[in-house]
A and B are shown apart, each in its own frame.
Chain A
Amino acid sequence: MNACDPDIFAQYSVLADSLPVAVVFVSSDGRIAMANQQAENLFRYERGELPGKAIEVLVPARFAHHEKLRSKFLAHPESRPMGVGRDLYARRKDSSEFPVEIGLSKLQADGKNYVLATVVDITERKRLEERFRSTVESAPTAMVMIDRKGHIVLVNAETERMFDYRRSALLGQPVETLIPQRFSANHPAMRSGFFEKPSARAMGSARDLYARRSDGSEFPVEIGLNPVDAPDGPFVLAAIADITWRKQAENTLRSANEELERRVAERTAELAGRAEELARARDALERSNLDLQQFAYVASHDLQTPLRNIAGFAQLMQRTYQGRLDTTADDWLQRIVNGTQRMHALVRDLLAFSRVDSAARPFGAADLNTVFDDVSSWLKPAIDGAGAIVTRDTLPIVMGDANQLAQLLQNLIGNAILYRGEAAPIIHVSAQATNGHWTIAVRDNGIGIDPRHHERIFEIFQRLHTQREYPGTGIGLAVCRRVVNRHGGRIWIESAPGAGSAFLFTLPGTPE
């Protein structure tokens, strides 16, 4: 260790060299009395090079006023950190600068005043601070740092933009500046509470938070709080996100949702109303169906009884007074009997027509071969009477009501016998499979039907002939169509006058 005055500082040198910080003794004339090894290393001087030099060799040239400040300190020497609130820089031997923190204290030795300066290189700290600042500055959220007293010590660019303040107008201001008045009264207490138990967390979780712009307008925010421990005291760093857009989206979504729910409720009520209407209509239909069945029953009995009585007495008269009246009376009696018979046929066929639906039985597997054979035996008197030949292919088993299918075949074969031409009737029943259903055909060599009547003949009471030509009620084919429709099929005719007729109808096949 070199010194101007080796005697005085010899006793300090061993001690000073063992210190972990750079230490410089400055005499009252501004010259370096002694510098420890750490100091000479820090300023990049050779060992023993510094003593005797003016202290200003260690101060950047731009701090020209250093001499004045030095004299001031000597006049009022108090141990204190140097240059509070300002950045201090030191100068190395090669004139390069580096940031420092300097502690000053007065020392008396051998009747002279000295200043003891401890110098700490804060390059690394400055670098970290700078990184922190730039990180905060470029953050996409507003960041506000406050001290214990609630004063704003740091804001970033996003804060200026979001709150519409200049940075300078915020620094040093209470943070309550940024809070709507209705919330700001409670805020200091909550702020103190946070400093008591600091932890990184969201502020006012599950509550709606609002912030205030410079013009007093408010906007919804989300705030994250982070305690920051620094040498100069605890701070809180608040990250503030403007959630106006999100709130709007939420509101839009909520109202859209409410609208949707309202519409669903409306539609549900509407449907309930419809369902009720349908239920009422169904009840009405069931009642009318019952009425219809009742009517059918009444028709079959109460209508037939007087009819039978008229026929009975007319026939009784024919028997009893045969030959005792004139021919006109005999003719009239016969007409009465014929009329009652025709009326009886009408009532019977109408009943059959109404019963297609009212007296329907559930569907099952129906073997059309059996159905055909039954029908042939029922019609045997008519077949024999007309000298008809009635044949069939091998017919399928179909899903249906065997009784009604028998009625269907009976009507069609019966018609084929009735509407015969000059030749003896030849009637053939065949079947063809098409796309999962069956097409059944009843073909004859009868008188045929003009194509312009092909639709009409399936309507109830529609006839093409007088009773004298061909007796009938005009109900048989209407029953046929009703039966086929009930089986989910359709019925049609292929025919021309003199060319015979083919009645075709479709039926569902049995499931495999």
Chain B
Amino acid sequence: MTNELMGAKLANILLAEDNEDDVVLMRHGFELAKLAVGLHHVENGHECMNFLRKTGKYADAPTPDIVLLDLNMPIMSGREVLAELVADEKLNHIPVVILTTSAEDQDILSMYKLRCSSYIVKPVDFDQFLRVIRGIGDYWLTIVVLPRRP
């Protein structure tokens, strides 16, 4: 994987997504976009919080530079994750990008009210999907200066 090639300088992205197909497409998307990232995957909100808090099997997990968060997931939804994350002093510096199928006005509004960093609707067309992934890479990993924790 690319993250092994790039070593410690690699950006870590945590993808919270219950749909495995989406995860596969995402990985290929990052590859096709030639973005070298450490892409970590958790399949529900509960796992996501464990990863971020380095609990259980995630004791050695890195602190991700950004979180790509799906909204509709089993056990614990993306909405709950964001609400818990922003209330957590140790975690609320991590940018969270919502990546979801929902184009509902209400979802968009409530996520921004929880101070999500961006809200992206997953495009159906793969070419557009690729553009979105490139956009994420360009913006979050190149243009933006991310916080650094001691």
Q: Do A and B come from one complex?
A: yes
State whether the Cβ of A300 lies closer than 8 Å to any Cβ in chain B. Answer: yes
Do A316 and B25 touch (CB < 8 A)?
yes
Q: Which of B99-122 contact A (CB under 8 A)?
A: 100-105, 122
Do B126 and A300 touch (CB < 8 A)?
no
- Determine the distance from Cα of A315 to Cα of B19 in the docked complex, in whole angstroms: 18
| Interface 0/1 of B67-91, CB less than 8 Å to A | 0000010000000000000000000
State whether the Cβ of A490 lies closer than 8 Å to any Cβ in chain B. Answer: no
**A311-B124, A319-B32 as given contacts; A300 in contact with B19, CB under 8 Å:** no
CB nearest neighbor in A for B20:
A309
Partner of B25, one of A301, A307, A312, A359: A312
Q: In terms of DSSP, what is the predominant structure of the interface of chain A?
A: helix
State whether the Cβ of B125 lies closer than 8 Å to any Cβ in chain A. Answer: yes
State whether the Cβ of A340 lies closer than 8 Å to any Cβ in chain B. Answer: yes
State whether the Cβ of A332 lies closer than 8 Å to any Cβ in chain B. Answer: no
- Determine the distance from Cα of A341 to Cα of B105 in the docked complex, in whole angstroms: 23
Do A301 and B102 touch (CB < 8 A)?
yes
Partner of B101, one of A300, A319, A359: A300
State whether the Cβ of B28 lies closer than 8 Å to any Cβ in chain A. Answer: yes
Do A315 and B21 touch (CB < 8 A)?
no
Chain B residues bordering chain A, tally (CB within 8 A): 20
Do A315 and B125 touch (CB < 8 A)?
yes
Q: Within the complex, what minimum Cβ distance (angstroms) separates A168 from chain B?
A: 104
Q: Which residues of A contact B32 (CB under 8 A)?
A: 319
Q: How large is the interface on A (under 10, 10 to 19, 20 to 34, 35 or more residues)?
A: 20 to 34
Q: Which residues of B contact A341 (CB under 8 A)?
A: 124-125
Q: Which residues of A contact B21 (CB under 8 A)?
A: 306, 309, 312-313
Q: Which residues of B contact A309 (CB under 8 A)?
A: 19, 21-22, 25
State whether the Cβ of A305 lies closer than 8 Å to any Cβ in chain B. Answer: yes
Do A305 and B19 touch (CB < 8 A)?
yes
State whether the Cβ of B140 lies closer than 8 Å to any Cβ in chain A. Answer: no
Q: Which of A335-366 contact B (CB under 8 A)?
A: 340-341, 344, 359
Do B124 and A307 touch (CB < 8 A)?
yes
**A313-B21, A316-B28, A319-B32 as given contacts; A308 in contact with B103, CB under 8 Å:** no
Do A300 and B102 touch (CB < 8 A)?
yes
**A297-B104, A301-B101 as given contacts; A313 in contact with B124, CB under 8 Å:** no
CB nearest neighbor in A for B72:
A301
Q: Within the complex, what minimum Cβ distance (angstroms) separates A347 from chain B?
A: 9
Q: Within the complex, what minimum Cβ distance (angstroms) separates A110 from chain B?
A: 143
Q: Which residues of B contact A316 (CB under 8 A)?
A: 25, 28, 126
- Determine the distance from Cα of A306 to Cα of B19 in the docked complex, in whole angstroms: 9
Q: Which residues of B contact A340 (CB under 8 A)?
A: 124
Do A311 and B19 touch (CB < 8 A)?
no
Do A311 and B126 touch (CB < 8 A)?
yes
- Determine the distance from Cα of A307 to Cα of B19 in the docked complex, in whole angstroms: 12
Q: Within the complex, what minimum Cβ distance (angstroms) separates A80 from chain B?
A: 121
Q: Which of B35-84 contact A (CB under 8 A)?
A: 72
CB nearest neighbor in B for A310:
B21
CB nearest neighbor in B for A320:
B28
- Determine the distance from Cα of A59 to Cα of B101 in the docked complex, in whole angstroms: 138
CB nearest neighbor in B for A319:
B32
Do B25 and A313 touch (CB < 8 A)?
yes
Q: Which residues of B contact A305 (CB under 8 A)?
A: 19, 22, 101
Q: Within the complex, what minimum Cβ distance (angstroms) separates B122 from chain A?
A: 6
Do A312 and B102 touch (CB < 8 A)?
no
Q: Which residues of B contact A300 (CB under 8 A)?
A: 101-104
- Determine the distance from Cα of A344 to Cα of B124 in the docked complex, in whole angstroms: 8
Give the most central of B25, B124, B125: most A CB within 10 Å.
B124
State whether the Cβ of A415 lies closer than 8 Å to any Cβ in chain B. Answer: no
**A300-B101, A301-B102, A313-B21 as given contacts; A308 in contact with B122, CB under 8 Å:** yes
Query: Which A residues fall within an 8 A CB radius of B?
Result: 297, 300-301, 304-309, 311-316, 319, 340-341, 344, 359
Q: Name 23 A/B residue pairs within 8 A (Cβ), A-sorted.
A: A297-B104, A300-B101, A300-B104, A301-B102, A304-B101, A305-B101, A306-B21, A308-B22, A308-B101, A308-B122, A308-B123, A308-B129, A309-B21, A309-B25, A311-B126, A312-B126, A313-B21, A314-B126, A316-B28, A316-B126, A319-B32, A341-B124, A359-B105
Given contacts A311-B125, A312-B21, 4 further A-B contacts (CB under 8 A): A300-B104, A301-B102, A305-B19, A308-B122
Nearest 9 CB-CB pairings of A with B: A315-B126, A309-B21, A312-B25, A301-B101, A344-B124, A312-B126, A308-B124, A304-B101, A311-B124
